[in-house]
Chain A
């Protein structure tokens, strides 16, 4: 036993897979400690906030200022002011109004702004431009002028009783606040999803739930497959015929179709993560049964089993001590594969909207489902679905790698 484990950890494939999987598990346990709270809490209003660090503007204004005169400050300000979309619109405006844009580089902010100041006139109404578009250009112009003007911003306070605004403080362009002084800073490495929930926090929680679903589904499928396979293989005769009859029926019905039908027939509010895991497990025991049975059939004729029978050992004892240990390695490998396919099956089901009910726990499949329903893939919010795909692939990859490594250890003909 000790020797087997040593051999297993000599297999590079197994070790790599094991390390990846352990790293994922470790993250699952450590991340909630560092960042506690309900992963499904809607912290943001509006959908799909971009990944990044968010600083409270209110707290920033009331924090103590320091003054810096940085040479690049103005240029940076203008750079970040103009998005790529703004720049394209500016070029559009130029060409609509007959300005020569040949040789203009849209990443060259200074040249763009110089040209803009020279030609833009809010009074011009190009033909066919909507009012909304015209207002957009006027707003853009204001902000460009504002950014390049030397004025300070005024922070005013409204008196609740009189409704009068009074100047509270002025913010000049050389005022800086230390981020550490700002009371509220929130870092969202993967932004928020469609409901304004922290995607990373949700991903970690979903990952844990999905692995749990995989484990339950795998355990159910392996246990059922093992039990039926052992009985069919060792007892033979009528028991074998009956078990194989049902196994063959389940083999010819595609298990995913079965999954969809069963999940569809369970009402939404009955469908917890546990139910879904159970259903996945109950539909995927077939192949384990078949292969356990064939292995038991060949083991049954081995001399050590015959000797055990001659020693008068009882049936459960023969199965437990003389047959089960021999197929244990295979069962472990089957279990790992079942876990991996359980996780994938949950993702597929949830993507189709047949996963666990949506209010209680996140799962990897549900996250994909939400991202798809709110068109994250169309509006470029990659952070809502891409990390999920990556995590599913990583879990599946590490489990399959472990399986291949085990296979090479236990099946010497596959060794290279």
Chain B
């Protein structure tokens, strides 16, 4: 196969752009020496090994790693679903406190998640209305008049290009994978947390629905100012969407920096290998390095 010039036609309209001042904004979520050890006694595994990180407000950060690199474990710790073995996580400048149920509930108002598998993310016994109404109730809208609730649900659905009228009284499993993932984003839109943790949100859906999801994440960041943590194994996706990229190998961050720094001028050997192992279309793909 011969080499091709990058496509001359511009597709720049609406393409992701990093806000200029993003790295000087206050920290939204940061961690120092965060560690997770699974198991007790002789059979211990170090899943996350003393990682430090600092995510700014309104930043879209990607955490890239292969399966088993510890990125999902880190995500669960950030969400407060797993306990931290060692180290400290700070939320909006203050050390995070999730020791009591009430404190946890308060923390979860500030952080929400979208998971990899849309088919297992919904309770199949709840209707779509229930899912969305639940979000309105969580944000203190329990006493709103019914018309106002409907308006909020319609707004959320139109944000993700779905029609509420077509969804009402339906169950999530009647939708396609891409639509379900969009509904997840509608849920996040209603909750408006400070941080959204998206754990491989596009890996189970088609390439053409993928673009829609990515655009919506960017929209959440640009319009609401959400900090988005995008966890993926696909370095191409990370390059396309993120402001900063963290590369994770065996529970450690081996490299981090802006998307252009990390992808176009990788320093760590692992990053170079990851980039080299992904098929390209503008440059030849070197198969001899395996």
Q: Please tell me the number of chain B residues within 8 Å of chain A, measured between CB atoms.
A: 22
By the criterion CB–CB under 8 Å, are B108 and A306 in contact?
Answer: no
Binary contact readout B110-123 vs A (1 if CB under 8 angstroms, 0 otherwise): 01110111001111
Q: Are A321 and B120 in contact (CB under 8 A)?
A: no
The reply to whether A303 and B115 contact each other, CB–CB distance below 8 Å, is yes
Asked if A304 and B79 sit within 8 Å, CB to CB, the answer is: no
Residues B81 and A311 in contact, CB atoms below 8 Å apart? no
Closest B residue by C-beta to A308? B123
Judge if B138 is at the interface, Cβ distance under 8 Å.
Answer: yes
Q: Are A310 and B113 in contact (CB under 8 A)?
A: yes
Q: Determine whether the beta carbon of B121 is less than 8 Å from that of A304.
A: yes
A163 contacts the other chain (CB 8 A)? no
Which A residues are in CB contact (< 8 Å) with B109? 312
Shortest CB distance A173–B (Å):
78
B43 at interface, CB cutoff 8 A: no
CA of A304 to CA of B138, assembled, Å? 16
B105: interface (CB < 8 Å): yes
Q: Say yes or no: is B234 at the interface (Cβ < 8 Å to chain A).
A: no
Query: Is B126's beta carbon under 8 Å from chain A?
Result: yes
Asked if A311 contacts B121 (CB within 8 A), the reply is: no
CB contacts (< 8 Å) of A308 on chain B: these are: 123
**Which residues of B115-135 are within 8 A (CB) of A?**
115-117, 120-126, 134-135
Q: Give the residues in chain B near A322, CB-CB below 8 Å.
A: 123
**CB < 8 Å: which of A304, A309, A321, A325 contacts B81?**
A309
CB pair B105 A321 closer than 8 Å: no
Contact indicator A311/B138 (Cβ below 8 Å):
yes
Interface of chain A: mostly helix, strand, loop or mixed = helix
Question: Who on chain B is nearest to A302 by CB?
Answer: B120
Q: Which residues of A contact B134 (CB under 8 A)?
A: 311
Q: Given contacts A321-B125, A321-B126, A325-B125, is CB(A310)–CB(B112) below 8 Å?
A: yes
Query: Does A249 touch B at the CB level, under 8 Å?
Result: no
Q: How far is the CB of A2 from chain B (nearest CB, A)?
A: 11
Please measure, in the bound complex, the distance between the C-alpha atom of A322 and the C-alpha atom of B116, giving whole angstroms: 18
Q: Mark A305-324, 1 if CB is under 8 A from B, else 0.
A: 01111111000000001100
The prevalent SS among residues of B at the interface is mixed
CB distance from B13 to the nearest CB of A (A): 34
Give chain A interface residues in 321-352, CB to chain B under 8 Å. 321-322, 325-326
Please count how many residues in chain A sit with their CB below 8 Å of the partner chain's CB atoms: 15
Chain A residues with CB under 8 A of B81: 306, 309-310
A307 touches B113 (CB 8 A): yes
* Cβ–Cβ < 8 Å partners of A306 in chain B: 79, 81, 113, 115
- Please name the residue on chain A nearest to B122 by beta carbon: A304
> Cβ of B121: which chain A residues have Cβ within 8 Å of it?
303-304, 307
- B134-148 toward A: CB 8 Å interface, digit per residue (1/0)? 110010000000000
Q: Which residues of B contact A310 (CB under 8 A)?
A: 79, 81, 108, 111-113
State the Cβ distance, A186 to closest chain B Cβ, in Å. 56
CA distance A16 to B124 in the complex (A): 29
User: Measured between alpha carbons, how far is A304 from B125 in the docked complex, in Å?
Assistant: 11
A325 to B115, CA, bound (A): 21
Contact assessment for A311 and B115 in the assembled complex, using a CB-CB cutoff below 8 Å = no
The answer to whether A303 and B108 touch across the interface, beta carbons within 8 angstroms, is: no
**A326 cross-chain contacts in B, Cβ below 8 A:** 124-125
Q: Are B123 and A304 in contact (CB under 8 A)?
A: yes
A287 to B115, CA, bound (A): 33
Q: How far is the CA of A326 from the CA of B120 in the complex (A)?
A: 12
Q: Are B108 and A311 in contact (CB under 8 A)?
A: yes
With a CB–CB cut-off of 8 A, which chain A residues contact B105? 312
Write the chain A residue with the least CB distance to B193: A310
Contact of A303 among B117, B124, B126 (CB under 8 A): B117
Chain A residues, CB < 8 A from B117: 303
Residues of chain A with a CB closer than 8 A to B108's CB: 309-312
Q: Compute how far the CA of A329 lies from the CA of B116 in the bound complex, rounded to whole angstroms.
A: 26
Contact of B115 among A307, A312, A321 (CB under 8 A): A307
A304 to B117, CA, bound (A): 10
The proximity string for A residues 190-232 relative to B, scoring 1 for CB distances below 8 Å and 0 otherwise, is: 0000000000000000000000000000000000000000000
**Contact present for A325 and B123 (CB under 8 Å):** yes
* Residue on A nearest B117 in the bound complex, by CB: A303
Query: When A and B form their complex, which 6 residue pairs have the shortest distance between CB atoms, in order from nearest?
Result: A303-B115, A312-B105, A325-B125, A303-B121, A304-B123, A303-B120
Known: A307-B115, A312-B105, A312-B138. 8 other contacts (CB 8 A): A302-B120, A303-B117, A304-B120, A310-B81, A311-B108, A312-B104, A312-B109, A321-B123
Q: List 20 A-B contacts (CB under 8 A).
A: A303-B115, A303-B116, A303-B117, A303-B120, A306-B81, A306-B115, A307-B113, A309-B81, A309-B108, A310-B81, A311-B134, A312-B104, A312-B105, A312-B109, A312-B138, A321-B123, A321-B125, A321-B126, A325-B125, A326-B124
Residues of A in contact with B (beta carbons under 8 Å apart): 1, 302-304, 306-312, 321-322, 325-326
